[in-house]
Amino acid sequence: MCSDEIVSGKAGHSCVGAINVPSAIRSGHSLALGGPVNRATDAAVSSSGDRDNAIYGGRLASNMKLRNIKIRSDFPPERSVLFVCMGNICRSPTAESVFRRHATLAGLQDQLFIDSAGIGDWHAGEAPDSRAVTHARKRGYDLTALRARQVDLDDFTRFHWIFAMDLHNLRDLQALSPPGFRGHLGLFLDVVPEIGLREVPDPYFGGAAGFETVLDLTERASEALLARIAAVHQLR
């Protein structure tokens, strides 16, 4: 089960075992907005006042009535990539930013839709962890505009490529995935089996080295993933 803990004066998340994610969770209404950006700093709020009674580790979740992305409704799911970690403030926003940079350097940023989300709603609407921001900035990645959100059922329609940072995240996503999902759902590091690791370690409760490790791993995996997607969809 998962619980909130206080670490260095700030609320954190911890987890032992997989979160019990109901398979029949209903997604909240979201706004579909056109535009060239993948993530907006302003939030689009659902007009519906309903709350979904979904339990995440004993917590009542609002199932993401607060939206933090502008969805390009006309963008092909086959070229849409989602990175998922526990709370969407450390690993997955780092992966999103790193992968976006690789896509930009390859001139493919306008051909891919890239986003990230979290299994839980603890940090919904918050900026990434300041330590993740600081370490990413040292390598030229800017995480400051990103805001955390919780994964929902709509993501399995919008995204063909969904990558979990660890096995707990993957099991939770598999429990949430609808029967009709025909996309790729797996571990991010499985695209680089030669490194001998399958999980991106959560750096939340550790020191600076943990955030550097996340960057090292996501850089390796992003390069391989971009090459794979570009080959599959003949992007150039």
Distance (Å) of CA 197 to CA 27, 111, 150, 166: 33, 29, 26, 10
Identify whether 85 is a catalytic site residue: yes
Catalytic residue from among 79, 91, 101, 147? 91
C-alpha 209/C-alpha 229 separation (Å) is: 30
Q: What is the Cα–Cα distance from 174 to 157, expressed in whole angstroms?
A: 14
What's the gap between Cα 188 and its chain centre? 11
Spatial CA neighbour of 112 closest among 71, 76, 140, 148:
76
**Ramachandran region, residue 165 (left: φ > 0; alpha: ψ -120 to 50; beta: rest):** alpha
As given in the structure block, the two tokens for residue 167 are: 């096995």
Token digits of residue 231: 């080959």
| Catalytic annotation, pick one of 121, 129, 152, 202 | 202
Given 2, 15, 85, 90, the catalytic residue = 85
| E strand or H helix that includes residue 42 | none
Catalytic residue positions?
85, 91, 202
